[in-house]
Amino acid sequence: MDPREQWLPWCLDGRRAAPPEDVGGTGGYAEFLEAISDPNHEDHVRMLEWGGDVDPERFDRRAVNTALWWWAKARGRHRKLRPDLVDR
């Protein structure tokens, strides 16, 4: 099969936001979440300033699908969207 004729990857659902870039892996992300959720944490203000406006519970399916589209386009596979997903 010609790769250009394959369906696009598409996200239907998800949970939680991705960690900020350079957070330090899963351990660093756990520390980051702890610091931003506790106003008395010694790194609370610093982590909020560094991480920006982060809502770890937010999931943006459109942003994920946009990123997937650009990923596929870079590989020449952005031509087809499954017909049952067009309205999503």
Q: pLDDT confidence of 81, banded at 50, 70, 90?
A: low
Q: What is the DSSP string of 16-79?
A: SPPPPTTS-HHHHHHHHHHHHH-TTSTTHHHHHHHH-S--TT---HHHHHHHHHHHHHHTT--S
Range of the domain at 42: 19-56
Does 45 share its domain with 27? Answer: yes
> Across residues 57-76, what is the average pLDDT?
85
Q: Which of 43-47, 56-60, 77-81 has the lowest mean pLDDT?
A: 77-81
* 73 touches 9 (CB < 8 A): no
Where are any strands of DSSP class E within 9-82? none
Q: What's the mean pLDDT when you consider all of the chain?
A: 81
Does 87 share its domain with 68? Answer: yes
